[in-house]
Amino acid sequence: MAKCHRNNVDPLILHRIPSASSSSLSGNTFSGSSLRRIIFDAISCGGSSRYRRELREEDDEGCSKSTIIGEDSMRKPEKLSDLLNLAVIESGVETKKKEETLEILKRVVKDLQAEAEAEAEAAEKKIAAASEVRLLAKDDIEARVTLAMLGAIPPLVSMIDDESQSEDALIASLYALLNLGIGNDVNKAAIVKAGVVHKMLKLVESSKPPNQAIAEAIVANFLGLSALDSNKPIIGSSGAIIFLVKTLKNFEETSSSQAREDALRALYNLSIYHQNVSFILETDLIPFLLNTLGDMEVSERILAILTNVVSVPEGRKAIGEVVEAFPILVDVLNWNDSIKCQEKAVYILMLMAHKGYGDRNAMIEAGIESSLLELTLVGSPLAQKRASRVLECLRVVDKGKQVSAPIYGTSSLGRERGHDLRMTDERKAVKQLVQQSLQSNMKRIVKRANLPHDFVTTSQHFSKSLTF
């Protein structure tokens, strides 16, 4: 059989086939089938050589990969072990830190509760402990819970009632209680249950002259505690509203702008509970709020309080009795740069127009129609809806009858004459003034709303139908 050889360029060379004479001498025969077999073996020999070379290369690569995988598999347990060890170390550090924090909290509460032989030493310990509670509870939710569970609230409340305590001690205890109640309704309820409301009011009454720093701390506490619904009736019936109103009215003399803001927010929280409205009406808060409207820093908060007051009949009556109440509220409807104020003002007017016919006449006399029409065109969706409802209420005449003229179009001549005959001279004058006000403002409204000029004619019919 022929032999296979490989040179540098992988050619296949067949050795010379023996001649017939030599083959005859050796006694062998060489047929065509033998020749084909030799050629096939030569080709197979070259192909299999290449195949074996590729297999060897693949085996070498596989061997190297398996070696790398083997090394990685050996490294993985080592990495996992390191991670587990690190987690154990971190867990141990965290546990130790929590234990240290707990020991600090226990020590602080112990200082608050302890009674030393020397009064001066006891007072110093309590002041330091209250200041520490204030800092620990300021930003730590868990500390607030733990301190309350350890019993920090009762001694802090008792410090407020102690006449021997200094101003620093009172302020430290008040702000410590304030921070303990932040975002924790359980603590807020516990603080009120411990009797802090009456103790704070007693402290205010005993401060002669009033101490501004202590008063501001008490206002801040009333703000925080009044956020809890179960505390609203307790605080409202305690006399705290009188103190908050006084703080609000005299903020320029005895309190800061922050105290004024806190007092307004506390009064808003208390006015949510409808039974507290009667306590609010015992003060002169409503006239003060209406006359303060215009101060943009507090106007939205004032209107928010009035929206709660107007929801009860006594509140609507109190607002209606204030001189210039409706012109003031109607003026708010024109505050186009304060959408929230517009929405709240029109809500107040909507409830009052719906409940009382006399209030509707006062609104018309204040020139409310043009402002309502403007709101229905360029106001927010909520303001537009409420303004439309007020306009519907204003179309109702005495004894539940409606003006015969539709919103768009004119009334019959006979009905209009009959209606005019029933009018008093005063009502006629009011109607004339209203129509003049509407017509003078209509062009301005149309211009701002970018409506066609011929809309003025249609709107004049609309304005006539709104007057009596």
**pTM, entire model:** 0.69
C-beta of residue 372 within 8 angstroms of C-beta of residue 360:
no
pLDDT tens for each residue of 234-291:
999 999 999 999 999 886 666 688 899 999 999 999 999 999 999 999 999 999 999 9
Place of tokens 């006084």: 246
Q: Is residue 184 assigned to a domain?
A: yes
pLDDT for position 36: 62
Mean pLDDT of 149-160: 94
CATH code: domain of residue 117: 1.25.10.10
pLDDT in tens, 55-82: 555 555 555 555 555 555 555 556 666 6
Q: What is the pLDDT of residues 186-195, one digit of tens each?
A: 999 999 999 9
Structural domain includes residue 302 = no
In a domain, residue 40? The reply is: no
Render the burial of 349-363: b for 16+ CB within 10 Å, e for the rest. bbbbbeebeebbbbb
Bridge partner list, 396: 402
Cβ neighbours of residue 225 under 8 Å, at least 6 residues apart?
Answer: 181, 188, 191, 192, 196, 197, 231, 235
Residue 349 corresponds to which amino acid?
Answer: L
Domain limit, last residue, from 177, 194, 211: 194
Residue 420, domain member (yes or no): no
For residue 74, is it within any domain? no
296 belongs to a structural domain = no
- Is residue 308 one of the residues assigned to a domain? no
Q: Which of 165, 194, 223 is the last residue of a domain?
A: 194
Tell me the three state secondary structure of residue 115: coil
Q: What is the pLDDT of residue 62?
A: 54
Residue 60: inside a domain: no
For residue 402, what are the β-bridge partners? Answer: 396
With the CA atoms of 193, 197, 198 and 201 taken in that order, what torsion angle do they form, in degrees rounded to the nearest 10?
170
Band of residue 96 on the pLDDT scale cut at 50, 70, 90:
confident
The answer to whether the beta carbons of residues 352 and 319 sit under 8 Å apart is yes
Q: How confident is the model at residue 95 (pLDDT cuts 50, 70, 90)?
A: confident
Count up the domains in the chain and report the number. 2
The predicted model gives 10-18 an average pLDDT of: 48
Q: How many residues does the chain have?
A: 468
What's the mean pLDDT in 2-13? 48
The boundaries of the domain holding residue 369 are: 323-400+434-460
The CA–CA distances, whole Å, from 398 to 23, 320, 343, 434 equal 143, 18, 27, 18
Which of 142, 164, 194 is the last residue before a domain boundary? 194
